[in-house]
């Protein structure tokens, strides 16, 4: 689903030990490469990022968690940025892109958006990961291709299809990050306390100046998550459907 893709044309230098051939991958201790796959590294990196935050993830920390030397990871990834691109591809790959052609196009688009939101909610590091590491990879290309196919099939021209596809991605990220009490760095107990304090602060505002904020203090501070996502998806899909019904598709 659904982004502008950028090709990084600047290759990263490999991390070499003294005496290594620059045309070969860096060496590692015997046996570490055979018991450590690229998928295992990415899976563990994603779990660590979800648990402790994306900014805390380092090659050294990941290697320690896996019980190997940092050089063992450099066999698969030449830098932290290279690792994070691999993790981003893993996240993209979890989004469901196989659509049911028998349902209306707007239902196909909605199911794709709902799948994106499910993945973003499952990995607390995912919104930041997709924002900061939006690279061209096979999983992202497949998701974007699926979204464009739906929109072009609905009658949108390429310009509108591309913009709506990008907006679909941003809508998913925005919905997750705008959920009331969204603070991925906090534990569940800490988030609950933060929400409670936020509700009290809103409820104690001067009612003469802010009567509606006082009235809506509870839902503003602690909205039902399922209602939040359902309404957000419905609003977005309704807007796209309304645009599709305009003869010129842009309302001008």
According to the model, what pLDDT value does residue 136 have? 76
Q: What domains can you pick out in the chain, each with its CATH number? A: 38-93 (1.10.10.60), 105-244 (1.10.357.10)
Nearest to 232 by CA among 88, 86, 110: 110
pLDDT for residue 150 is more than 90: yes
Q: Tell me what the mean pLDDT of segment 226-244 comes to.
A: 96
According to the model, what pLDDT value does residue 181 have? 65
According to the model, what pLDDT value does residue 23 have? 34
Greater confidence (7 vs 86) lies with 86
What gap in Å lies between CA 163 and CA 152, rounded to an integer? 12
- Do 49 and 87 form a contact (C-beta atoms < 8 A)? yes
Nearest to 236 by CA among 133, 114, 149, 123: 114
Structure-token pair, residue 90: 């893993």
Lowest pLDDT segment from 26-30, 62-66, 115-119, 121-125: 26-30
- Do 139 and 89 form a contact (C-beta atoms < 8 A)? yes
SS3 for 201-241 is HHHCCCCCCCHHHHHCHHHHHCCCHHHHHHHHHHHHHHHHH
Q: In which element (H, E) is residue 16 found?
A: none
The pLDDT tens digits for 67-95 are 999 999 988 998 999 999 999 999 999 99
- Do 112 and 158 form a contact (C-beta atoms < 8 A)? no
Q: Tell me what the mean pLDDT of segment 160-188 comes to.
A: 86
pTM exceeds 0.85, yes or no: no
Greater confidence (42 vs 34) lies with 42
Share of the chain above pLDDT 90, in %: 58
What confidence tier does 32 reach under pLDDT thresholds 50, 70, 90?
very low
């Amino acid at each position: 689903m659904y982004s502008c893709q950028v090709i990084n044309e600047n290759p990263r230098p490999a991390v070499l030990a003294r005496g290594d051939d620059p045309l070969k991958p860096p060496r590692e201790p015997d046996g570490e490469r055979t018991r450590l796959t690229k998928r295992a590294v990415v899976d563990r990196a994603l779990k660590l990022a979800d648990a402790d935050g994306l900014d805390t993830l380092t090659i050294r920390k990941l290697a320690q968690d896996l019980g190997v030397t940092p050089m063992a990871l450099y066999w698969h990834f030449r830098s932290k940025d290279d690792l994070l691109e691999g993790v981003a591809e893993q996240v993209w790959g979890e989004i469901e892109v196989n659509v049911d052609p028998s349902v209306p196009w707007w239902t196909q688009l909605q199911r794709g958006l709902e799948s994106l939101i499910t993945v973003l909610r499952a990995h607390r590091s995912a919104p930041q990961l997709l924002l900061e590491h939006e690279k061209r990879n096979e999983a992202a290309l497949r998701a974007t291709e699926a979204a464009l196919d739906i929109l072009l099939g609905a009658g949108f021209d390429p310009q509108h299809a591309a913009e709506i596809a990008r907006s679909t991605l941003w809508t998913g990220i925005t919905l997750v990050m705008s959920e009331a009490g969204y603070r991925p760095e906090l534990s569940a107990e800490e988030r609950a306390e933060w929400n409670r304090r936020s509700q009290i602060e809103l409820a104690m505002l001067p009612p003469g100046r802010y009567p509606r904020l006082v009235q809506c203090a509870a839902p503003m501070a602690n909205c039902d998550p399922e209602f939040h996502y359902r309404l957000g998806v419905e609003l977005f899909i309704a807007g796209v459907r309304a645009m599709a019904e305009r003869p010129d598709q842009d309302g001008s």
